[in-house]
């Protein structure tokens, strides 16, 4: 799907960010990403941009803000905070978030297989113990799984679309203290208890009540200290 004014919007953004540089050929298309992904790259004097088709009805000022944000990232420039605010204010709207959830469900990766038992560690008994201790047993069991790759950057992830908790395989080791695995799992369980929500021009993943509950974890300081050394 193409929108006639998109090329003009990105040409204008280029001129604002690099006024002394000739404008490359610009090709922009709406693309059916699984989320609000937007990409821009330059090759052989052609600027190729893909904008999430979830933004196909966005007002022109929102697309202008997105163009400046994308090209500023590409050209290593800075844009005023007002542009980020204009874009974020739009994408946190309820209707856009609803379309985003639908797109993730329809286009995103398949739901994780329920595989709580790793080579060394088992998430199943940990979940039930934490659920009893901190949630009075009220948290519905999600899919539990270990990640395919041993990531240090993402130690845990809660997939709200498919109701799955995925823990990094790097923690599946006999050398990982129990309280560390428990803490990472507990953190992701809190995401199920306290879903992300729209704030003032931004999406809040860790609201105050999340942080307050996180500090209730016995061994919170020790676990966070241990993970910093990972």
The whole-angstrom separation of Cα 73 and Cα 82 is: 16
Collapsed DSSP state (helix, strand, coil) of residue 78: coil
Q: Do 132 and 48 share a structural domain? A: no
- Residue ranges making up the domain that contains 63: 6-107
Summarised one tens digit per residue, pLDDT across range 106-129 is: 886 665 788 999 999 999 999 999
Domain assignment present for 1:
no
**Residue where a domain terminates, one of 80, 107, 134:** 107
Domain assignment present for 89:
yes
- What's the total number of domains in the chain? 2
Domain assignment present for 224:
yes
Q: Do 130 and 96 share a structural domain? A: no
Summarised one tens digit per residue, pLDDT across range 65-113 is: 999 999 999 999 999 999 999 999 999 898 998 898 888 878 866 657 8
Q: Do 103 and 58 share a structural domain? A: yes
Please give the model's pTM, rounded to 2 decimal places.
Answer: 0.67
The whole-angstrom separation of Cα 217 and Cα 148 is: 27
Structure tokens, 216: 């209730």
Domain assignment present for 117:
no
Domain assignment present for 27:
yes
The whole-angstrom separation of Cα 112 and Cα 27 is: 36
CB contact at 8 A, 30 and 3: yes
Summarised one tens digit per residue, pLDDT across range 188-199 is: 999 999 987 766
| pLDDT for the residue 34 | 84
Domain assignment present for 116:
no
The CATH number of whichever domain residue 40 belongs to comes to 3.30.2010
Collapsed DSSP state (helix, strand, coil) of residue 218: coil
């Amino acid at each position: 799907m193409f929108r006639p004014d998109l090329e003009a919007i990105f040409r204008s953004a280029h001129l604002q960010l690099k006024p002394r540089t000739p404008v490359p050929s610009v090709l922009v298309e709406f693309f059916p990403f699984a989320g609000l992904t937007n990409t821009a790259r330059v090759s052989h004097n052609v600027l190729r941009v893909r904008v999430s088709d979830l933004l196909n009805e966005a007002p022109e000022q929102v697309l202008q803000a997105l163009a400046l944000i994308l090209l500023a990232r590409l050209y290593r420039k800075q844009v005023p905070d007002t542009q980020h605010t204009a874009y974020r204010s739009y994408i946190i709207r309820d209707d856009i978030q609803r379309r985003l959830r639908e797109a993730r469900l329809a286009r995103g990766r398949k739901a994780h297989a329920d595989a709580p038992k790793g080579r060394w560690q088992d998430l199943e008994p940990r979940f039930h113990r934490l659920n009893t201790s901190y949630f009075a047993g009220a948290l519905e069991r999600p899919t539990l799984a270990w990640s395919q790759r041993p990531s240090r950057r993402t130690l845990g992830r809660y997939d709200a679309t498919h109701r799955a908790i995925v823990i990094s395989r790097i923690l599946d080791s006999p050398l990982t203290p129990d309280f560390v695995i428990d803490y990472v799992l507990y953190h992701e369980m809190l995401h199920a208890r306290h879903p992300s929500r729209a704030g003032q021009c931004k999406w809040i993943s860790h609201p105050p009540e999340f942080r307050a509950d996180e500090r209730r974890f016995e061994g919170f300081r020790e676990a966070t200290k241990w993970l910093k050394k990972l």
